[in-house]
Structure 1
Amino acid sequence: MDDTPQEITSLVGREVYSNNGVFVGEVEDLRLNVDGEAVTGLALGNLNTELFADAAHGGQGIIVPYRWVRSVGDVILINDVVERVRQPDDEEDELIA
């Protein structure tokens, strides 16, 4: 087994998907805990506009906590919790309509 640590910069540019296959965004930067020498979050850009309408149209990104990451390979898989971000607005629209 190769114990060589993976270069954290290799995460930049990778696509991020929920664990059930929905595109979330692309890694633009990393949030680091320098003292603990650990990645604590992934800063995503090029967001899925259906999931993050306000942030995506405003040109802003989001930071996903690294604890949501399930696997890192050619793409990064995270918990599907991010897909529920839009639900409160959807429910609110139903109540207004």
Structure 2
Amino acid sequence: MASDPTPVTDLADKEVFTADGARVGRVTDVIVDLQAEAPVELALADVTERTVGGLPASAAGVRVPFHLVRGVGDVVVLRSAAHEAPLPLPGGRDDGGDGDGEAVDDDDDPIV
């Protein structure tokens, strides 16, 4: 599989949608594994509550593991439809993820 030549800086401010077109939010940051030189997560703000579900009052947004990204163009499209997506996802100022202080992705592996 060929790598995507899109620079991670081009992801900033892109809208994020599920595979069935439900808006999730807007990319505010990209978390990158510097050793692997690969994106790990997208940090989203301006989150659509009806798509994501209830967020803690202190949440600044959500984080989406990059392996859930289906494609990047004018917008970012996730692999899952809204009803299939593992949302809400960990993220925000005070939210550590699953309640134990560690963020987790859909495989229950700690996200670092």
TM-score by length of 2: 0.64
Q: Distance in 2 between matches of 1:73 and 1:4?
A: 11
Cα distance change on mapping 1:73 and 1:33 into 2, 3 Å? same
Q: Distance in 2 between matches of 1:32 and 1:20?
A: 27
* Letter of the structure 2 residue corresponding to residue 65 of structure 1: P
Q: Distance in 2 between matches of 1:39 and 1:30?
A: 7
Match of residue 76 from structure 2: 76
Match of residue 52 from structure 1: 53
Q: Distance in 2 between matches of 1:30 and 1:40?
A: 8
Q: From 70, 83, 87, give the equivalent of 1:85.
A: 87
* Superposition CA RMSD, Å: 2.2
**Matched residues, percent identical?**
29
Q: CA deviation at 1:58?
A: 3.2
Q: CA deviation at 1:59?
A: 4.3
What is the count of residue pairs matched by the alignment? 82
Cα distance change on mapping 1:48 and 1:34 into 2, 3 Å? same
Q: Which runs of 5+ in 1 are unaligned?
A: 87-97
Q: Which runs of 5+ in 2 are unaligned?
A: 89-112
1:49-97 deviations in Å (ceiling 9; x for gaps)? 1123324x53421110100000100000002243x536xxxxxxxxxxx
More strand by share: 1
Q: Does 1:33 align with 2:33?
A: yes
Q: Distance in 1 between matches of 2:87 and 2:63?
A: 13
